Amino acid sequence: MANHNVSEILPCLKDSLVTCNKAFSTFHDILNGFIILANIFHLLLLKKVKNPEPSNSSSIMASMSILIVFNSLTSICYYNCYITNYLLGLKDPYWAFIIIQAMAGFSPLSRYIVLLIISIERYIGICLPYKYKTHFFVRNAIKLNFTIIVSALLVIPMINIAFSPEFCQSPLKIRYVYSTKATVFLSLVGVVFSLLTLITASLLVTSWKRLRKLNVVGSKKKIKTASTYIIWTGITYQLTSLPTIVSVFIEATNISLEALEAVSAVIFALYGFANVILYACFHSEYMNELRHIVGSVKCCSRVKEKAVTPPKPI
């Protein structure tokens, strides 16, 4: 392997000076900061709420929020101007960008995996209910989810190292230098994401069609509502990831559409908010707990105001 150093990470366009897009970087960082806070609060609130869905579903969907936090942290490292400039100033920044690129690939892939597993689990629960409790996949869904994600976390960096890419600097990020090898690699990434999208979407649509025909009463109505949330959060993720998939295919052809990439990064990040909002919409217990917390905060603020306000003279 070549001896990589900072001189090799040059502007993507020859004879040009690269100025990092600080406006986008700042907006992107603030957005992801709020997404991180929202999902940490969401995870804390989930512990207090009794989930109507099966334990497999609730545990796997909780891992989705953890991965959203991870994705936001990775995105900040990926697009932040100050972090990029700091890494470029290191003696050998190449390996730092190898790790960041690998994590940037792991973040969406891990969420695709979670949604695929939960889609299969819901498909079995809705379309094959008589097999649900005894089905091997359902009984081992959590272990399977954990094993695949950890394996992906270990394998993706090794694939990136084996790929041994060259990097260049664009106004948005450090990206791959265009080459036949880079085209093949990015095209394969796009194909994998596209296949996962199609498989997951087909399972979710089939489950949704079957779920609409079911007439349930009592406690099972809450399970139906929870299943509806899983279907809609899955479909929302597919829609928010489409611009990113398009951006990957375009980058593979050495066409730099920075506006599209910036928009796709923002849309992809917004799923972090959408997941929390959808959960709140489909779970009344969650909303009740949220109202209780907001009411407690208001009550505490009023008590403090009364304690600070001096009594009126008689």
- Residue-wise pLDDT for 233-264, tens only, equals 888 988 888 888 888 777 777 666 677 888 88
- For the cut 50, the answer to whether the pLDDT of residue 1 exceeds it is no
Question: What Cα–Cα distance (Å) separates residue 291 from each residue in 79, 280, 288?
Answer: 36, 11, 5
Q: What is the DSSP string of the chain?
A: -----GGGSEESSTT------HHHHHHHHHHHHHHHHHHHHHHHHHHHSPP-S-HHHHHHHHHHHHHHHHHHHHHHHHH-HHHHHHHHTSS-THHHHHHHHHHHHHHHHHHHHHHHHHHHHHHHHHH-GGGTTT-HHHHTHHHHHHHHHHHHHHHHHHHHHHH---EEE-SS-EEEPP-HHHHHHHHHHHHHHHHHHHHHHHHHHHHHHHHHH----THHHHHHHHHHHHHHHHHHHHHHHHHHHHHHHHHHTT---HHHHHHHHHHHHHHHHHHHHHHHHH-HHHHHHHHHHHHHHHHHHHHHHHHHSPPPP-
Contact 290, 41 (CB under 8 A): no
Model pLDDT, residue 263: 87
- Residue-wise pLDDT for 278-291, tens only, equals 888 887 788 888 88
- Residue-wise pLDDT for 153-177, tens only, equals 888 888 888 877 788 888 888 888 7
- For the cut 90, the answer to whether the pLDDT of residue 35 exceeds it is yes
**Whether the predicted model's global pTM rises above the 0.85 cut:** no
Question: What Cα–Cα distance (Å) separates residue 2 from each residue in 60, 89, 141, 163?
Answer: 42, 19, 43, 13
Contact 24, 79 (CB under 8 A): yes
Contact 4, 94 (CB under 8 A): yes
Q: What is the mean pLDDT of residues 211-232?
A: 74
**Which residue ranges make up each domain of the chain?**
20-47+55-283
Q: What is the mean pLDDT of residues 208-213?
A: 83
Model pLDDT, residue 289: 82
- For the cut 70, the answer to whether the pLDDT of residue 217 exceeds it is no
Model pLDDT, residue 36: 95
Identify which has the larger pLDDT, 51 or 226: 226
Q: What is the mean pLDDT of residues 167-195?
A: 82
Return the CATH architecture of domain 20-47+55-283. Up-down Bundle (1.20)
Q: Which two tokens stand for residue 300?
A: 């505490």
Confidence of residue 2 (pLDDT cuts 50, 70, 90): very low
Q: What is the mean pLDDT of residues 75-83?
A: 90
- Residue-wise pLDDT for 100-152, tens only, equals 888 888 888 888 888 888 888 888 888 888 887 888 888 888 888 888 888 88
